[in-house]
Amino acid sequence: MKSLNSRIIPAILATSLLFLGSMSGSATPEKPLLPLPDSTFTVDSSEFTIVFFVGHLNTDLLKDTLVGLSYYNDVSLPKYILWGKTDSVSGGSTDTATGEPNFDALKVDTTELLYPPWNNLEGTVSLLNLNSDTLTDLMFVIRGISDTGLLAQDTACFLGIFGQRGLDTFDVLDLEIVDSLQSMPFFSLLMLPDTNYTDPLVREVTGRISYIIEPIDLDVHSSDPAGEPAKPVAGELPYREHSVAFYPNPTSRSINIETVGLPPGEYRIEIYSSSGDIALSRPFPLDKPGETRREIQLRELASGAYLMRLSGSQGLVGSYWLVVVR
């Protein structure tokens, strides 16, 4: 893994954390909040379990949870992604022995984040959109002491893992293998000064250095499927796979909306302003199954962020953020 001098790494970025309570000195819950196997990541007993983020890191509509441990020595990096799961059959089913829901076993329940084996590891993660699709990306700033046995030196790195389809198939995401912009084994990026982040500026209030992150022209996945199909079992009806994509985003005059697999029927596009009012409403009829692409004019919308919803007779298909720039 390439290392960057810690002096050029931006100050640790503040992340809003939800403290769920100390793991030491508290009663053990009947059902643990998250599976935390033994790990060298635990550096002392003064720790809290924290939730960094609840949202979408893969391409289904089920929310995922980014969790980790926070220590009094300023180590507060995420350790696990708990993937949102769906029942294995439409309508839901339960295990007759335990009463628990049957989940789709095609994907892992939990993905572990593996950090470089540095001493005195510390850092943080920020959640933002590094590239041009609609999924949340993870940006890590980590530093520590790299000890090769011959030489111990301060080292640091600044890297991103893109939200993407298939991320929930990995048992482990090894951050040490991230080197430049790569698509295998997963989409990730080692961020470099003067290329991916530029224009260092010392802030007057904090006295810390901040940077401008240059846009990354990479669309890992620009659509948000309305549910991801589970594997059917014998005697059960399979899910019908359908998805919705829209582009460009941000846009200025119009957007193209593509649907795949939605059943024929009367649908409607509604675009809501930041105040919650409907800024635009258009019918979106589908006469036959299959793939459909349609252009929607947005000339009457002012610049800003909007929430776009596609609904049908059976309810909401999906909600999507849309940015209009004039």
Q: Are 225 and 244 in contact (CB under 8 A)?
A: yes
- Of 151, 177, 123, 115, nearest to 6 by C-alpha is 123
71 with 194, same domain: the answer is yes
Residue appearing with tokens 């540095």: 118
Pick 159 or 48 by higher pLDDT: 159
Flag whether 318 is in a domain: yes
Q: Please give the mean pLDDT across all residues of the chain.
A: 70
Instruction: Give per-residue pLDDT as tens, 18-31.
Output: 222 333 333 333 33
22 with 83, same domain: the answer is yes
Terminal-to-terminal C-alpha distance of the chain: 41
44 with 136, same domain: the answer is yes
Please provide residue 109's backbone torsions phi and psi, each rounded to the nearest 5 degrees. Answer: -80, -35
41-45, 183-187, 207-211, 288-292: segment of lowest average pLDDT: 41-45
pLDDT cut 70: percent of the chain above it: 67
Flag whether 221 is in a domain: no
29 with 122, same domain: the answer is yes
149 with 257, same domain: the answer is no
Of the ranges 41-55, 167-181, 306-320, the best mean pLDDT one = 167-181
249 with 199, same domain: the answer is no
Pick 35 or 308 by higher pLDDT: 308
161 with 308, same domain: the answer is no
Flag whether 32 is in a domain: yes
Average pLDDT value for residue range 225-251: 51
- Helices and strands (H and E) in the chain: how many: 0, 20
Which pTM value belongs to this model?
0.50
281 with 154, same domain: the answer is no
Q: Are 125 and 158 in contact (CB under 8 A)?
A: no
Q: pLDDT category, 307, cuts 50, 70, 90?
A: confident
Q: pLDDT category, 251, cuts 50, 70, 90?
A: confident
Instruction: Give per-residue pLDDT as tens, 37-66.
Output: 333 333 444 556 777 888 888 877 677 888
The span from the CA of 123 to the CA of 102, in Å, is 37
Flag whether 1 is in a domain: no
Domain coverage including residue 35: 6-213
Whether residue 132 has pLDDT greater than 50: yes
| Residues in the chain, overall count | 326
Please provide residue 56's backbone torsions phi and psi, each rounded to the nearest 5 degrees. Answer: -110, 115
67 with 137, same domain: the answer is yes
Domain count for the chain, please give it. 2
207 with 269, same domain: the answer is no
199 with 252, same domain: the answer is no
- Of 262, 251, 258, nearest to 303 by C-alpha is 251
104-108, 180-184, 283-287, 306-310: segment of lowest average pLDDT: 104-108
